Amino acid sequence: SIAQLPYGQYTLKVRAMGQDGYMAGNELAIPLHSIRPLYLRWWFFLVVVATITGIVVLLFRWRLWQLNRSKLLLEAEVARRTQQVEQKRRTIAAQKAHLEEMNAAKDKLFSIVGHELRGPLMYFGNIANRISYALQKKEYDTLEGLGEKVKNIAGSTNDMLNNLLNWSLLQGGRLFFGQGPADLQAVLEQVTETYQEVAALKKLRIEIETEPGLRVQAGADGLSILLQNLLSNAIKFSQEGSIVVIRTFRKEQQAVIEVKDQGKGMSPQKIQQLFSGAIQPPAKGTAGERGAGLGLQIVREIVKRYNGELRVHSQEGVGSRVTLLLPLAEES
């Protein structure tokens, strides 16, 4: 069969045969060329080898890409975990430092409290003995003077304990105030009325100059604590028979509260220490009043929560002017 011939060159010779069975003398020579199969051609092997090589290279590169991608993902995960660990480490370190600072402040505060409370307690004991003696001797005129002294020391001790409580609650994040609005004049009148009797013991005159209608974006309770501390400090450090001036007015979008006294005043170093946030040893008032040294610290913390500002201007021997700037409430 011609179809089954192996590949190569052939010649097909054809002779005609007549009806009588004789072959013709002439023959027809037809050249045949059996083509080599495709899979046996040289270039086919090259194509197959190139294809296999290409597939191997592609598989290798794909696998390499997979490994690199896995490596990058792993590195990113390691970096993320490392960042988390570092963040936790920094948080723990900050918490540790804060706790150490709080512990040191607590120890210092307890030392101050123990020292400052010892004086009033001894004073009350002494007064009790003097009252008992006056009653025995029927010196009733003496009792009135002793009563005024008891009232004075009791007031300063009460202020100190209130400040200790407020400071403790502030440090623990448990002292919360509303955001107002609060009527500045109403709160100021209430606080001033409370301290009129204390001021009278030192023959102080409290002058108030207020701009009516000021409403601040601060809770009434927080505003009351601010004003109590400012007025208490002004009375404490004022000279007997002097004047304490309280002014309130509007300045742009803020309410300004100024408390000015004619007292002992402070040095620039003392003012800088007040704004450092560290607990300072308490200073005695002009009449020997005691405290915990926390008044302006509490004011500073509360003002910060109300997005306000605290300013202190003072001169030793002349007096101090403490200024609060609080945001005004939006008018409805």
Q: Give CA–CA dist 231/324, Å, rounded.
A: 12
CATH of domain 175-327: 3.30.565.10
Q: What is the pLDDT of residues 92-125, one digit of tens each?
A: 999 898 788 777 767 666 665 665 566 566 667 7
As given in the structure block, the two tokens for residue 32 are 């045949």
pLDDT for res 269 = 86
Please list the ranges in the chain whose pLDDT falls under 50.
none
pLDDT for res 184 = 93
87 in helix, strand or coil?
Answer: helix
Kindly report, as residue ranges, where domains of CATH 3.30.565.10 are found in the chain: 175-327
Q: What is the pLDDT of residues 250-259, one digit of tens each?
A: 998 999 999 9
> Taking CA 260 as the corner, what is the angle to CA 167 and CA 170, rounded to the nearest 5 degrees?
10
Q: Give CA–CA dist 311/296, Å, rounded.
A: 10
